[in-house]
């Protein structure tokens, strides 16, 4: 047996020339990319500045961290959760009809193609750009963040919903049709039980992403952690920045734990 394996190994296709060419091209691309990186050098007293930043981040302002007013970290956490949650709900609701329109096994291919082109265009624009656009329309605040999260969620959620619809077990629907079930009964007992776990799991996963994106959107004034964080960092108030980051870490860990449990429950039943 060993001899046969060795013989088969010796007779394997010799593609070392191809692999060598790929390695040389990859190495050349890495060297060419590194040539575009400019090292300006460290500024005077950079070690002291770095130490002050690290010290401030690891010694957060506890008064700010446990300030339960509208300017404290707990309120910013609540605002961030609300923006991410409502944005996910809006995106998930809008994505349902768009997913059915973009599915090739339910609608004609030209219509599905147009729907997918629209979704691709939505996914192409970064969340940061959407945030700036909505702030110009509605003004800075949590509502602009909510609209941004909703639009950004549509692209990804619709794509995942479309894949779930295309993976439907048609035999279940055919069995219900053979049993004389009505259209509503086929939807109720044949389609929804297959789609709901995938739909819910996708929405929860997108909520995790929106929770992180909501912090970035705050940098342009769309509510949440972002604006207070950038203000504290610009003013070199590293203790306040550390308090905000500590609250963000706690929030992400709690949401990640809960969402993982829910997704596991939905997947395994």
User: What is the model's pLDDT at position 239?
Assistant: 86
User: What is the model's pLDDT at position 46?
Assistant: 67
User: What is the model's pLDDT at position 89?
Assistant: 92
Q: Which residues lie closer than 8 Å to 99 by C-beta, 6 or more apart?
A: 157, 158, 161, 162, 164, 165
241, 57 in Cβ contact below 8 A? Answer: yes
Using CA of residue 88, residue 89, residue 91, residue 92, what is the dihedral sign?
A: positive
CA 102 to chain centre: 21
Structure confidence by residue, pLDDT tens digits, 62-76 = 888 888 887 788 888
Name the residue among 76, 78, 128 with its Cα closest to residue 240: 76
User: What is the model's pLDDT at position 222?
Assistant: 62
User: What is the model's pLDDT at position 40?
Assistant: 60
Backbone angles phi, psi at 40, to 5 degrees: -80, -10
Residue ranges for the chain with pLDDT beneath 50: none
């Amino acid at each position: 047996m060993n001899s046969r394996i060795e013989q088969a190994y010796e007779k394997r296709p010799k593609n070392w020339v191809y692999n060598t060419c790929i390695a040389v091209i990859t190495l050349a691309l890495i060297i060419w990319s590194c040539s575009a990186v400019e090292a300006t050098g460290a500024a005077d007293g950079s070690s002291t500045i770095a130490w002050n930043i690290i010290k401030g981040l690891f010694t957060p302002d506890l008064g700010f961290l446990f300030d339960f007013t509208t300017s404290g970290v707990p309120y910013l956490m609540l605002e961030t959760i609300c923006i991410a949650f409502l944005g996910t709900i809006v995106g998930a609701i809008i994505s349902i009809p768009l997913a059915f329109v973009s599915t090739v096994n339910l609608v004609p291919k030209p219509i599905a193609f147009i729907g997918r082109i629209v979704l691709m265009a939505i996914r192409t624009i970064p969340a940061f750009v959407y945030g700036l656009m909505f702030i110009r329309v509605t003004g800075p605040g949590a509502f602009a963040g909510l609209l941004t999260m909703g639009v950004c969620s549509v692209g990804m959620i619709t794509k995942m919903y479309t894949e779930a619809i295309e993976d439907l077990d048609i035999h279940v629907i055919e069995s219900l049709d053979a049993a004389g079930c009505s259209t509503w009964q086929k939807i109720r007992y044949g389609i929804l039980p297959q789609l709901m776990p995938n739909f819910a799991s996708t929405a929860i996963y997108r909520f995790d992403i929106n929770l992180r994106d909501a912090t970035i959107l705050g940098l342009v004034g769309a509510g949440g952690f972002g604006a207070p964080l950038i203000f504290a960092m610009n003013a070199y108030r590293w203790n306040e920045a550390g308090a905000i980051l500590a609250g963000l870490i706690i929030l992400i860990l709690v949401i990640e734990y809960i969402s993982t449990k829910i997704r596991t429950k939905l997947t395994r039943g």
